[in-house]
Amino acid sequence: MQPRSILRALLAAALACPLAFAQSEPPSAPVPQQAPSAPAPQQTPSAPAPAASAEPQFPPVNEANFDAASPTKADVEAFLKTSWGYDPNRVWEIFAIQKTPAPGLSKVTVLVAEKQGGQQIATLNFFVTPDGKHLVAQDAVLDFGANPYANNYRVLQQRAVGPSRGATAKQFQLVEFADFECPHCKEAQSVAERLVQDFPQAHFVFENFPLVNVHPAAYKAATWAACVSEENGSEAFFKYASSVFGAQNDLAGQGAELALRNAATAAGADPDKIAACADSAAGKNAVDASMRLGQDLNVDQTPMLFIDGRGLPMLAVNYDQLKTIVAYQFSIDK
């Protein structure tokens, strides 16, 4: 794997970078962006590479490059361990923590490689704010520290109140933000089913996040979904969701109303009652609250999954990798 590929893969999993297969809302004005894939990795000069199967040999660290008071090496190591520790094949070296002309702002340099990647070493640079709570990488501002997902975790525990399944306790939480017209969200439903089966200790929540500038029927489908959940409960909601995703092509045309009515009926709900609810302030308020939650978490694409606060485009990695990340994050939050 080339250095650019290494960072793309690890940051997709650690920092939830947007990828081509995720559906994004084209903004009508500047909006907060999900974390990018990272500063462009640069090849680190090194000695002639040995055989590709050899473990990487990082260049010697110069202690003169650690002149910043904070963060400490331990702080950076704790952050990297939380973010990347799920992958035993990934290795890194904290190469420098340096002062910058801005008082208290430190520049951190990390060398990253894979154990079987030979001398393919990539360089990652980011800045840490004076209070030690955030890092800045290109145009992204991300939480920093030993528990960088803790704030999102608390927010989701309090405000992720959409239809749910799995465990009733919220210690381990999987929250999906999805759009009923998004084809990748339809694809992700099988992933969600597997997660619920493989992690029975998880409280799984579905949050509506219709991309209204892309999908004209998505908001209406979401209001119907919210009303099915309110009137008939979570189990009915997931039956409704399955039906709507199954008839997704019908949402784009004049068949949208019929598709929603059929989905409500399949869920055991009264379609006339659900239609009236969906047109009411109550139906719209539930969807609006879900959208505000996503916006507060910087969600700008679907499907997005939060694993105890760790945001990840739901199809960014294959299922085995996703399962590993979920298991690792849950092990941290025991």
The CATH number given to whatever domain includes residue 172 is: 3.40.30.10
> Is the bond into 101 cis (omega within 30 degrees of 0)?
no
- Which of the listed residues 113, 146, 179 is the one where a domain comes to its end? 146
Do 241 and 314 belong together in one domain? yes
Mean pLDDT of 18-41: 37
Do 141 and 211 belong together in one domain? no
Pull the structure tokens for residue 13.
């999993």
* pLDDT above 90 for 38: no
Nearest Cα to Cα of residue 152 among 15, 318, 1, 10 = 15
Do 207 and 320 belong together in one domain? yes
Q: What is the mean pLDDT of the chain?
A: 87
CB 35 within 8 A of CB 148: no
- Tell me the pLDDT band of 116, cut-offs 50, 70 and 90: confident
Q: Identify each DSSP E strand in the chain by its residue range.
A: 23-24, 42-43, 90-99, 106-114, 122-128, 134-137, 140-143, 164-166, 173-178, 203-208, 301-302, 304-307, 310-313
Res 269: pLDDT? 98
Cα–Cα dist 295/289, whole Å: 10
Do 194 and 295 belong together in one domain? yes
- Tell me the pLDDT band of 27, cut-offs 50, 70 and 90: very low
Mean pLDDT of 245-262: 92
Cα–Cα dist 109/98, whole Å: 9
* pLDDT above 50 for 212: yes
Range of lowest pLDDT (47-51, 97-101, 176-180): 47-51
Mean pLDDT of 315-322: 95
- Tell me the pLDDT band of 255, cut-offs 50, 70 and 90: confident
Do 113 and 174 belong together in one domain? no
The residue behind tokens 């002149």 is 67
Mean pLDDT of 238-252: 95
- Give CA separation, 322 vs 32, 76, 97, 209, in Å: 25, 24, 31, 21
- Which of the listed residues 146, 174, 205 is the one where a domain comes to its end? 146
The answer to the question of residue 285 being in a domain is yes
Do 28 and 109 belong together in one domain? yes
Query: Percent of the chain at pLDDT above 70?
Result: 84
- Tell me the pLDDT band of 31, cut-offs 50, 70 and 90: very low
* pLDDT above 60 for 12: no
CB 88 within 8 A of CB 19: no
Cα–Cα dist 155/171, whole Å: 13
pLDDT tens, 213-227? 999 999 999 999 999
* pLDDT above 70 for 49: no
Do 142 and 156 belong together in one domain? no
* pLDDT above 90 for 34: no
| Domains held by the chain: number | 2
The residue behind tokens 């597997």 is 194
Do 124 and 183 belong together in one domain? no
Cα–Cα dist 125/253, whole Å: 48
* pLDDT above 80 for 65: yes
* pLDDT above 80 for 319: yes
Q: Higher model confidence: residue 149 or residue 29?
A: 149
> Is the bond into 303 cis (omega within 30 degrees of 0)?
yes
Q: Higher model confidence: residue 29 or residue 86?
A: 86
The answer to the question of residue 160 being in a domain is yes
Do 68 and 168 belong together in one domain? no
Burial class (CB in 10 A: 0-12, 13-18, 19+), 89: exposed
Provide the domain limits for residue 22.
Answer: 3-146
Do 56 and 171 belong together in one domain? no
- Which of the listed residues 119, 146, 173 is the one where a domain comes to its end? 146
Do 54 and 194 belong together in one domain? no
The answer to the question of residue 240 being in a domain is yes
Res 226: pLDDT? 98
The answer to the question of residue 334 being in a domain is no
Res 15: pLDDT? 42
Nearest Cα to Cα of residue 103 among 133, 81, 70 = 70
